Amino acid sequence: MHCCNLLLTFVAFIFCVISLCNGKPHIVVILADDYGYNDIGYHAKFHHSDMKTPFLDSLAMSGIKLENYYVQPICSPSRSQLMSGRYQIHTGLQHSVIKPTQANGLPLDNIILPEQLRQCGYDTHMVGKWHLGFYENSYLPWNRGFNSYFGYLTGGEDYYTKYRCWTKDCCGFDMDSNEGPTNETYGEYSAHLFARKAKEAIDKTDKSKPMFLYIALQSVHSPMEVPDSYLKPFEHIKDYNRMMYGGMVAAMDEAIKNITDHLKSANMWNDTILIFSADNGGQTLSGGNNWPLRGRKATLWEGGVRGVGFVHSEALKLPKPNYKSNKEMIHISDWFPTIMSASNCPLVNNTQPLDGFDQWQTISKYAPSKRSEILHNIDPLFTPLYTGTKFKGNTVRMGFDTSVHAGIRSDDWKLLTGEQGDDRWIEPPEWNQTESWVSPLENPEHPGFPTNSDPAKLVRLFNIANDPYERLEVSERYPDIVDTLLVKLAAYNATAVPVRYPPLDPNSNPKYHGGFWGPWEK
């Protein structure tokens, strides 16, 4: 009997390395942190950026680039929508990110993606940044569907020491796993570490099952840290943050190559669907760039929410030879139902209503998108960039308070309300390195860039199809469209749950928990 069991296990192993496991592909999702629209090679070369990503380019060019792809403007909201398939107004995460000292997290009544896939027979693993709450054990990733986890729980830390300070008196190590916290990786650069741990996760996957591997890289979030060996191609860039950022991008590109090479060595690559996505727009304060889009991370301008994304799969048969760029509207919340569809997995009972759409036919067959609308957000607690901004008079129009920070896309139209933060078009820093250089913002051959903007303007309307760079504000020209979109915002707002944004809890201090960030409530 023992020999028979061994034989059956061996047959299952052989079957899964030469074909799809039970008709289900391996799924690898790679999320890059604070990665700008103009910082991947296939965009950079058209917009004169010096960022180079030869391996990511090769994956995208032999896969499907998503060129009408949207994410959320900051970390936790994007990750929550990826994992839950739900808008943040429906999970209470409308405002800011989950702070390490807050008793907060993605609500437990959401049956998230790894839980769904595990019930469908997947072996589920995660490496990297969680940032969806950890104040109670029940919020930890290995208690939310991942069979294994190695990474950090908060929103950022030192790339080498894995040390994170919230205040000068609230500091600790942040490197955790389903086997307990550790500082044994002290000194190992994050991109190298997470590539190594991803390879270990691949090796320990149950070979009789399909694999789901979620890799949430630290790269290329601040702080600006990278081994010197990656900096040589960028030494000509005078802006320090941009130079360092270039090296960090190069290290990330190499790490992803190493992971995919390992999938090939494990005979899993040909049956893998790889999804690559940024979590939000680039942080221009830390070397990122979104040119020619307007704005940056933490804004609802296109530079904050238009994401880098692509899908690669050797098993994916492209519908036509020239199908390389998909320009259908896709949002990060769509990955939840799309992955379930691509995996031939039904949603489990008690799944919360989804805001995402199954876009598998859109990606694999170039069918029209099932989505014509995106709620970018409604955040009643948003803090204005211009602290002196005062909105006067009645700000309610068509049932929606237009002083509230919000944004919606419907077909070609995009409406923004309230104060929107940094609204500049920010050029790649490597451009402005000679005295004779003339900015496109000042060049008469590139008209239409406003030199300033009124922060007190409550309503702004753009036709993104005709004006993807948000140069021409047309709310006064199309008041009926403004009213239609305000009615939509009011309808969404009526479904919103209360904002989850608790006060900071001193009991979270790592000094009470062995010097590590981790759960502090029972």
Burial grade of 8 (CB within 10 A; 0-12, 13-18, 19 or more) = exposed
Mean pLDDT for the stretch of residues 300-326: 85
CA 353 to chain centroid: 21
397-433, pLDDT tens digit by residue?
A: 999 999 999 999 999 999 999 998 899 999 999 987 7
Contact call for residues 183 and 194 (beta carbons, < 8 A): no
pLDDT at 432: 78
What pLDDT does residue 19 have?
43
Band of residue 320 on the pLDDT scale cut at 50, 70, 90:
low
- Helical ranges in 218-334 per DSSP H: 240-265, 302-305
- The pLDDT of residue 18 is 37
pTM above 0.85, yes or no: yes
Does the pLDDT of residue 100 top 80, yes or no? yes
CATH of 21-371 given 3.50.50.60, 3.40.720.10, 1.25.40.340, 3.40.140.10: 3.40.720.10
Q: What is the pLDDT of residue 306?
A: 99
Q: What is the mean pLDDT of residues 67-73?
A: 98
With CA atoms as reference, report the closest residue to 274 among 354, 145, 363: 363
What average pLDDT does range 254-258 have in this prediction? Answer: 99
Tell which phi-psi region holds residue 339, choosing left (phi > 0), alpha (psi between -120 and 50) or beta: alpha
pLDDT given for residue 451 in this prediction: 46
pLDDT band at 93 (very low <50, low <70, confident <90, very high): very high
Q: Positive or negative, the Cα torsion across 279, 191, 189, 429?
A: negative
Count of helices and strands (H, E) across the chain: 11, 19
The mean per-residue pLDDT over the stretch 48-68 comes to 95
**Pair of tokens at residue 520:** 């502090």
What is the pLDDT averaged over residues 111-137?
99
Residue (of 187, 171, 178, 157) closest to 513 by Cα position: 171
Model pLDDT for residues 10-51, shown as the tens digit of each residue: 444 444 443 466 789 999 999 999 999 999 999 998 888 999
Taking only the tens place, the pLDDT of each residue in 342-397 is 999 999 988 999 999 999 999 998 899 999 999 999 999 997 655 555 666 789 99
CATH 3.30.1120.10 is right for the domain spanning 373-419+455-497: yes
CA distances from 368 to 277, 311, 383, 410 (A): 21, 17, 38, 15
pLDDT at 322 over 70: no
Q: What is the pLDDT of residue 107?
A: 99
Domain ranges of the chain: 21-371, 373-419+455-497
Q: Which residues are catalytic?
A: 75, 131
Phi, psi of 39, deg, nearest 5: -115, 5
Q: Which two tokens stand for residue 65?
A: 């680039």
Choice between 272 and 3, residue whose per-residue pLDDT is larger: 272
